[in-house]
Amino acid sequence: MNARPIILGVVGDSAAGKTTITRGLVRVLGEEHVAHICTDDYHRYDRKQRAELNITPLDPDCNYIDIMAQDIARLRAGDAILKPVYKHQDGTFGPPVYVKPERFTIVEGLLGYHLPEMRDAYDVRVFLNPPEAIRRQWKVIRDCSRRGYTTDQVLSELDRREADSEAYIRPQRRHADIVV
C-alpha cells in the first residue's frame, strides 16, 4: 500500500449499531477499498471464562487493550496485522486472520477510544449513542435471534453491564468527532 490508510473509528455500547453502520460504510466505500477490524476480537476471555470471572467485555481488563492499540498503530502505519477472532455465535475464539490495511480502515467496537494512543490513530472518530430504550430493544432482538439468549437473559445482562457501560463505554463519547 502506498498512501497511509484513512482510519475511521466507530465506537459505542453493545448493540448501538456499530456493525450495521460499518457494513453500510463498507458498501458505500467499496469492499475492495476497506479493511474492517472489530475490537471485540481482542477479548481476553471467552464467554464461559467471563461468566466464571464475573467480568463483562466492556471492562478494559477483559480485553487485550495493549495489543489492540499496537495493531491499530500498525494499521495506521500501513503494516498488516495478525488479528485475533472472537466468534459471537458461541462465545469462543477462532484462528487469527491476516489483515492488511486498505485505503480506508474501519475499526469498530466497544473500547476503540479507551487509550490516548488509540484515539490519536484515527482520522475520524464516531460514537454511536442511540436512545437507551432503543439500544436495549436492539440488543434483545439481536442476542435472542443470533446468539441463542432468552429475553430475560439479555435484560439481566444489560443490567449487570450498566456500571461498566457508565465507567468505560460512555466516557469515550467525549473523544468523538461525530456523535450519532
Q: What is the secondary structure of 138-149 as a DSSP string?
A: HHHHHHHHHS--
The whole-angstrom separation of Cα 133 and Cα 58 is 19
Give the pLDDT confidence of 143-161 residue by residue, as tens digits. 888 888 888 888 888 889 9
Structure confidence at residue 3 (pLDDT): 80
Give residue 138's identity as a one-letter amino acid code.
W
Q: Are 114 and 64 contacting, i.e. CB atoms less than 8 angstroms apart?
A: no
Predicted pLDDT at 24: 96
pTM: 0.91
Q: Which residues of the chain have pLDDT under 50?
A: 1
With 0-12 CB in 10 A as exposed, 13-18 as middle and 19+ as buried, what is 103?
middle
Residue with cell 468523538: 176
Angle between helices 151-164 and 132-146 (to 10 degrees): 130
